[in-house]
A and B are shown apart, each in its own frame.
Chain A
Amino acid sequence: MIVGERKPLLELKGFIEDYRKVLIVGCGTCATVCFAGGESEVKVLGSALRIAFLREGKEREILEDCVTRQCEPEFVDKVTQRVADEKIEAVLSLACGVGVNFVAEKLEEVPVFPGINTKFFGATVEPGVWVEMCAGCGNCILHLTGGICPVARCSKSILNGPCGGSSDGKCEISPDVDCAWALIIKRMKKLGTLDHLSKMIEPRDWSTSLHGGPRRVVHEELKPVQAGREQD
Chain B
Amino acid sequence: MSDGLDRFLAASPQPQRSGLRLLIMLARRPRGAMLLKCLPLAEEAAGATLALGRYDDPAIATRLGWDAEAVVARGRRLRRTEGRP
A and B are interacting partners:
no
Interface residues of B (CB under 8 A from A): none
